[in-house]
Amino acid sequence: MLLNKVIIVRQAEHVYAFAYSADKLVFVTHDLPSAASESIFYAKITKLNAANHTAFVEYLPGLSGFINLPPKLNVQSGSLLPVQLTWQGNEQKQVKLRYGWSLIGKYVVYLAEIPARIKATDISQTLRDKLTQVVQEFPAQWVLRSCVDDKLDFAVVAEEMKDLYQQVLTIKANAKRGQVYAGIANYLKLLRSLKLAGNCEIISNDPLIHEQLLAYQNLWQIDILSFDPKLNGAELIAEYKHLLASSLVNLSNGASLEINTLSGISLIDVNSNQSNLAGHKLNFLVLDAIYQQICLRNLQGIILLDLVKNMSDVEQQRILLYLTKLFKNDLTNTKILGFSHSGLCEIIRNKF
């Protein structure tokens, strides 16, 4: 999937990003006026359960969260811990934090201070040799992201490793209680995670966002950046809210999808009443629409697909393989678990 246009709109304290591939809306992100995910804090333990290796921590004044601790970590109530915000939470659920931290770029991920190496698979020896030289200059444990190959200008990979390494040094130098790294907005995660087509245009109506994008333009190889202060995006946001409010999606092949979420579990029911297609053919044809709706609505956690029943094992396997292929183009990690005994296809999509 290649994005050909991204519209980033600030409306009061909220920021929406609308991403298009072949001029079709494929992803929408929403940033709230709160700490961004991937933010790093030195948090104070307020309640420790040593037996279960868990703790409640206060990461900002008046803001607390729950974390799991490494079994051999020796801490006590009042200790300061480095934690990272992995999910901002919502009205029903609290934020998610994890012990420790990492820094994610478009091309590489900083994992830890030691050992000094880079983890990479399916790359040429020439590229591996270049990476090894950069690791010697910026010693740390790195992971190469899948978008990097011999066709990519290696200079941007080396530059990103340099930038992330400088951020690591800054974070370590500010090891005091409170926030030490501001995290990254969801609209930047979108640009970081997905490939951009040639001449992809990114339009924003906020001067600070535009300046932020300019800072990433060369590193992330963004072709066209536009600033339009008159772009209010009210119609786009209204259409998106209407999509979220509607549980029924009618498809051109006569089928429909009914989408409902309860207690963090989303169920997508395929209705074939108006379709003349055989069940196994219909199941395969609706997968693209299911993928699109999951991404547009940003469904997270457990997702169950209630497809037309009575499929053979071969047909089920074909569906699982195609879903796996689709979700390789996603903003977050998605696992296709398989079919349950009751015939539901089970998916886990991580929060971001």
Per-residue pLDDT tens over the stretch 281-328: 788 889 999 999 999 999 999 999 999 887 888 989 999 999 999 999
* 187-204: average pLDDT: 94
* 155-159: average pLDDT: 96
Indicate the pTM of the whole model: 0.89
Fold of 40-99: OB fold (Dihydrolipoamide Acetyltransferase, E2P) (2.40.50)
- Residue-averaged pLDDT of the chain: 92
Cβ proximity of 196 and 222 under 8 Å: yes
Per-residue pLDDT tens over the stretch 27-45: 999 998 888 999 999 999 9
pLDDT at 91 over 80: no
Residue type, 67: I
Q: Which of 183, 19, 11, 9 is nearest to 87 (CA)?
A: 183
| Structure confidence at residue 278 (pLDDT) | 63
- Report domain 2-35+184-234's class: alpha beta
pLDDT at 94 over 90: no
Kindly tell me the burial class for residue 350, based on how many C-beta atoms sit within 10 Å of its own C-beta (0-12, 13-18, 19 or more).
middle
Provide CB contacts within 8 A for 300, sequence distance 6+.
332, 349, 350, 351, 352
